[in-house]
Chains A and B, each alone.
Chain A
Amino acid sequence: MSVQEEALEEKRLLSKTSVGFWLYLMTDCLLFATLFATFAVLRDATAGGPAGRDIYEMPLVLAETLILLTSSFACGLALIAMTQKNIRQVLIGLGVTFVLGATFLFIEVSEFTKLISEGHGPQTSAFLSAFFTLVGTHGLHVFIGLLWLSVLAYTIWRRGITSKLTRQLTLFGLFWHFLDLIWIFVFTVVYMMGVVR
């Protein structure tokens, strides 16, 4: 294939994968929408157990939010470095993203374990079932994101920035920002509206 054809092919691949990935993100959005709807319905079904305002620790949640947003920022920097083919900066950016993401997850898991050890597990009431599932599903996505991120970082380190990795890193960026967006909704709908009421 000529260089021209090669470039055309690359463009086509990029458009296919990004259209596909946007569609996938939309399906994921709907998955979350379902969980949000369930949460909204079951929010007051505390069945004698604690309500949201009794168990949320807002300072921690705020910290989580800031950490996740910062990690998105780091991820953005890594993407910019990618366009300049600066492998070192890409790796640093991804590293920071990873550390922040992992911290976020750590806080979330400790929040969960604390609740469970206090006897407020997901089996306590419909509200807590919905709470753990919604927040936990987001956490699961972050976990998968971290896995993906590690694999990407490793391959970039080994192989440099190939066109395929550029594509995948772009998609990863989309994914990570998407998780941010979902978290903003979690923060608002689950936590803020939970303590305000």
Chain B
Amino acid sequence: MIIDWGFLLGRLSLDALPDNIVTVLGALGGLFGVLLIVGLLTVTRRWSWLWKTWITSLDPKKIGVMYLVVAGIMLLRGLADVVMMRVQQALFATNGAGPIDADMFQQVFSAHGTIMIFFVAMGIIFGLINLIVPLQIGARDVAFPLLNSISFWLFFAGMALMNVSLAVGEFSTAGWLAYPPLSGLEYSPGTGVDYWIWALQIAGIGSLLSGVNFLVTIFTMRRKGMTPMKMPIFVWSVIGSMLLVVFAFPILTATLGMLTLDRTIETHFFTSDLGGNPMMYVNLIWAWGHPEVYILALPAFGVFSEIVPVFSRKRLFGYTSMVWALMAIAVLSFTVWLHHFFTMGAGANVNAFFGIMTMIIAIPTGVKVFNWLFTMFRGRISFKTPMLWFMGFITTFTIGGVTGVLLAVPGIDFQVHNSLFLVAHFHNMIIGGVVFGAFAALAYWWPKLTGFRLHEGLGVAAFWSWLVGFVLAFGPLYILGLMGAARRLDHYDASLGWQGLFVVAGVGVMIILLGVFFQVLQLAYSIWKRDELRVGTDPWDGRTLEWSTSTPIAEYNFAALDAVEQRDAFWAMKSSHVREEATKFSDIRIPKNSGFGPGIAAVAFVGAFAVIWYMWWLAAVALVVTIVLAICAGMREDVERTITAEQVAAIEKKLWRTRRA
């Protein structure tokens, strides 16, 4: 009997390897990077160190750092995609030649959008939340440490899947939201859309679990005395964001699930025949997608609301209205999704409703802007890098907001829908808001986490490069959009006279890259000169609890858990001079390391890869292993270890002494 072993590999064959020179170089570059890291780890014998102190760690501070590292690397990859698009549009788009063909151009913008939203912006947000929230609420940990690790590793697995598509197979050509019927089986029979689906599905489930985890953390683990209205405003912004995660991500999960069914067992949810309804998909994906924007933006607002008071040396103006604004934005963000497809034929009244709802969101956002400005008013402002990023944010974000309100008018939207005007608008919000927010947060909290500052001059240089580059890169897109340039064009006619503006935009990207270069340099230089840049536990004269503990921070965060009496708890402690180092300690229990997170994520990766390539037997194996792992994770016993009071005393003594030295 002859058995056909072909089923083992599904549709995977040597054809899956890239043949286009640009992709080959990209894939080789990635492979080389991975090999380099693996080699370095092996040569320096760091594997067990890596496994014990990072990979299996359940410490949210470590997990947060890992999120940020992944997001940073993905930012570089996303930028590489941008460079390709910009080179193509500035130099080759009018004569048809050039290194990038239409199919590849589509893969590039799809990959750029997907990576930037899911693996850069989301990574930044979850990284910051992991690092800062437990500290700010004065807790020692998150509610479910193992779940937290699983979330991170699922995020990692999604990221890995996304990047593997560079070397094995192809990526989606259907844009970052993969509208059907283009993303259906009929028009995208390859593996690209499947990679997109599974990268998002796996990372998305990780986000969902994180959402639950952090809500429970904030609801149940706050320091004694920290009533809701005494919480730091960043924590409120995280509540808003995580509520949105919990409400919106299930919609994404279900929608991607249905698209998967359409593509694998050929159901007809979103096909254009047999009753399928592609518009259903567009509605569902934006019912998740619009809240997603605020999932990213709210924590950035929170970051700035922490930074502005500290660097203005004043209390936050209008704390209560800030809280209400955050919550109002969170609720309203579920009522506007249709503004993404005004042109798709819902009646005038429907469009008017969603247009007005969209404009209403500008009100709470305006409240926030004025609160920040009033906080600065008559403050003693010091323009350190975090504050510079804030200034950059407030200007770009306001411009983005104004163009957003323009787009919310259905009549105007009919003109500029799907044009570069829109692309300029959302980058204004997302770069000005989320990315600048992340850079501000990094500069602000870096000394708390490491014990030394980042070099100020290089930070300032990076800021100005980013700001100038940003204006040059996206200003022309507004004009181009008004001139009629559609988004996602790999090609246009020379007679349109667009090329000049595209060249300017390309120059803008180069200046942004210069900014990134300064940032990398800043990190490297600051780490190198860390002794000169060393600072104490509270370098900015902070107001919230994270600044009250030692630097570096002990794995249990706080040795003693004194009750909180006021908002700006640490500020209150400092000004009433009640702050003294604890002398009496008690035992602290912290979770033991666990390999379940990386394990489950590895299995998810394999399972998804198998489904993408139709290796059904492997998918089945992965499913069974997942179930077994889940059962084992549920049956774990003895998951904590104790740090005794004496050990705590010794650790504290050492940590606080390093500060004084």
Interface band, chain B:
35 or more
Let me know if B220 and A16 touch, CB within 8 A.
Answer: yes
Residue-wise, chain B 171-211 has the 8 Å CB interface mask toward A (1 for contact) of: 00000000000000000000000000000000000001001
Let me know if B250 and A31 touch, CB within 8 A.
Answer: yes
Let me know if B246 and A20 touch, CB within 8 A.
Answer: no
Of the candidates A20, A29, A47, A147, which one forms a contact with B268 in the assembled complex, judged by CB atoms under 8 Å apart?
A: A47
Let me know if A129 and B277 touch, CB within 8 A.
Answer: no
Minimum CB–CB distance from B363 to chain A (whole Å) comes to 27
In the assembled complex, A194 has its CB within 8 A of some CB on chain B: no
C-alpha gap A45/B255 in the complex (Å): 18
Across chains A and B, which 4 residue pairs bring their CB atoms closest together, nearest first?
A: A45-B275, A126-B275, A129-B267, A34-B254
Q: Contacts of A155 on B, CB cut-off 8 Å?
A: 635
Q: Contacts of A147 on B, CB cut-off 8 Å?
A: 627, 631
Let me know if A20 and B267 touch, CB within 8 A.
Answer: no
In the assembled complex, B258 has its CB within 8 A of some CB on chain A: yes
Q: Contacts of B323 on A, CB cut-off 8 Å?
A: none
Q: Contacts of A130 on B, CB cut-off 8 Å?
A: 269
In the assembled complex, B219 has its CB within 8 A of some CB on chain A: yes
Q: Which residue of chain B has the shortest Cβ distance to A45 in the bound complex?
A: B275
Let me know if B143 and A126 touch, CB within 8 A.
Answer: no
Q: Contacts of B261 on A, CB cut-off 8 Å?
A: 122, 129, 133
Pull 14 A–B residue pairs with CB atoms less than 8 Å apart, ordered by A. A16-B144, A20-B143, A23-B246, A33-B250, A34-B250, A35-B254, A38-B284, A42-B276, A126-B269, A127-B275, A129-B261, A129-B269, A129-B276, A147-B631
Q: Contacts of B635 on A, CB cut-off 8 Å?
A: 151, 155
Q: Contacts of B254 on A, CB cut-off 8 Å?
A: 31, 34-35, 38
Q: Contacts of B247 on A, CB cut-off 8 Å?
A: 27, 30
In the assembled complex, A3 has its CB within 8 A of some CB on chain B: no
Of the candidates A20, A30, A46, A49, which one forms a contact with B212 in the assembled complex, judged by CB atoms under 8 Å apart?
A: A20
In the assembled complex, B587 has its CB within 8 A of some CB on chain A: yes
Let me know if B268 and A1 touch, CB within 8 A.
Answer: no
In the assembled complex, B520 has its CB within 8 A of some CB on chain A: no
Let me know if A126 and B220 touch, CB within 8 A.
Answer: no
C-alpha gap A71/B522 in the complex (Å): 63
Q: Contacts of A125 on B, CB cut-off 8 Å?
A: 268, 274-275
Let me know if B255 and A26 touch, CB within 8 A.
Answer: no
In the assembled complex, B634 has its CB within 8 A of some CB on chain A: yes
Interface band, chain A:
35 or more
Minimum CB–CB distance from A149 to chain B (whole Å) comes to 12
Q: Contacts of B266 on A, CB cut-off 8 Å?
A: 123
Let me know if B269 and A15 touch, CB within 8 A.
Answer: no
Q: Contacts of A12 on B, CB cut-off 8 Å?
A: 220
In the assembled complex, A8 has its CB within 8 A of some CB on chain B: no
Q: Contacts of A34 on B, CB cut-off 8 Å?
A: 250-251, 254-255, 284
Q: Given contacts A16-B221, A38-B280, A126-B274, list 12 more A-B pairs with CB under 8 A.
A: A15-B220, A20-B143, A20-B213, A34-B251, A34-B284, A38-B284, A122-B261, A122-B265, A123-B267, A125-B268, A126-B269, A168-B634
Interface of chain A residues 89 through 129 with chain B (CB within 8 A):
122-127, 129
Let me know if B268 and A129 touch, CB within 8 A.
Answer: yes
In the assembled complex, A19 has its CB within 8 A of some CB on chain B: yes
Let me know if A24 and B267 touch, CB within 8 A.
Answer: no
Residue-wise, chain A 156-173 has the 8 Å CB interface mask toward B (1 for contact) of: 000000001000100000
In the assembled complex, B215 has its CB within 8 A of some CB on chain A: yes
In the assembled complex, B249 has its CB within 8 A of some CB on chain A: yes
Residue-wise, chain B 143-170 has the 8 Å CB interface mask toward A (1 for contact) of: 1100000000000000000000000000
Q: Which residue of chain B has the shortest Cβ distance to A127 in the bound complex?
A: B275
Interface of chain A residues 33 through 71 with chain B (CB within 8 A):
33-35, 37-38, 41-42, 45-47, 49
C-alpha gap A62/B507 in the complex (Å): 68
C-alpha gap A123/B266 in the complex (Å): 6
Let me know if B268 and A123 touch, CB within 8 A.
Answer: yes
Let me know if A42 and B255 touch, CB within 8 A.
Answer: no
In the assembled complex, B76 has its CB within 8 A of some CB on chain A: no
In the assembled complex, A28 has its CB within 8 A of some CB on chain B: yes
Residue-wise, chain B 511-546 has the 8 Å CB interface mask toward A (1 for contact) of: 000000000000000000000000000000000000
Q: Contacts of A46 on B, CB cut-off 8 Å?
A: 275
Residue-wise, chain B 242-263 has the 8 Å CB interface mask toward A (1 for contact) of: 0000110111011101100110
In the assembled complex, B229 has its CB within 8 A of some CB on chain A: no
Residue picked from B220, B268, B275, B627, most chain A C-beta under 10 Å:
B275
In the assembled complex, B216 has its CB within 8 A of some CB on chain A: yes
Q: Which residue of chain B has the shortest Cβ distance to A26 in the bound complex?
A: B246
C-alpha gap A132/B249 in the complex (Å): 22
C-alpha gap A55/B634 in the complex (Å): 40
Q: Contacts of B262 on A, CB cut-off 8 Å?
A: 129
Q: Contacts of A30 on B, CB cut-off 8 Å?
A: 247, 250-251
Given contacts A34-B251, A45-B277, A133-B261, contact A19 B267 (CB under 8 A): no
Given contacts A19-B219, A42-B280, contact A122 B213 (CB under 8 A): no
